[in-house]
Amino acid sequence: MFKVTGEIINLFDSPASEKYDASFKVQLLGDHRLPDGQVKKEMLTLGVPRTVYDSLQGKVGQTVTLPVGMFVKAGQLNVYFPKTAIAGGAASALPA
């Protein structure tokens, strides 16, 4: 399992519909170090379980570390919050 660290920029949820369950998202802003030493800011929108979403309420502007999993599909890196992180006790954000 990997970890991602960033500043919480926003939290939002999408209510359930006939087609989809409710979803909960956190947007993190972090630094991506380039090969030439420069730093590029990147935003990551990560779907998280309701328990994690609730634990992040009131923490906008704070830096947190969250567990993530990654995979590549069609040459694109995809990042997700692993379900096993909840079972492993990582249901809340870790302070950075």
Which residue in 5, 48, 47 sits closest to 28, CA to CA? 5
CA distances from 20 to 14, 15, 47, 51, 84 (A): 9, 9, 14, 19, 22
Measured at the alpha carbon of residue 65, what is the angle toward residues 61 and 69, in degrees to the nearest 5?
Answer: 130
13: helix, strand or coil: strand
- In a structure prediction context, what are the per-residue pLDDT tens digits for the chain, which is 96 residues long? 799 999 999 999 999 999 989 999 999 999 999 999 999 999 999 999 999 999 999 999 999 999 999 999 999 999 999 887 764 444 445 555
Residue 85 confidence (pLDDT) = 74
**Structural domains in the chain?**
2-95 (2.40.50)
Residue 91 confidence (pLDDT) = 44
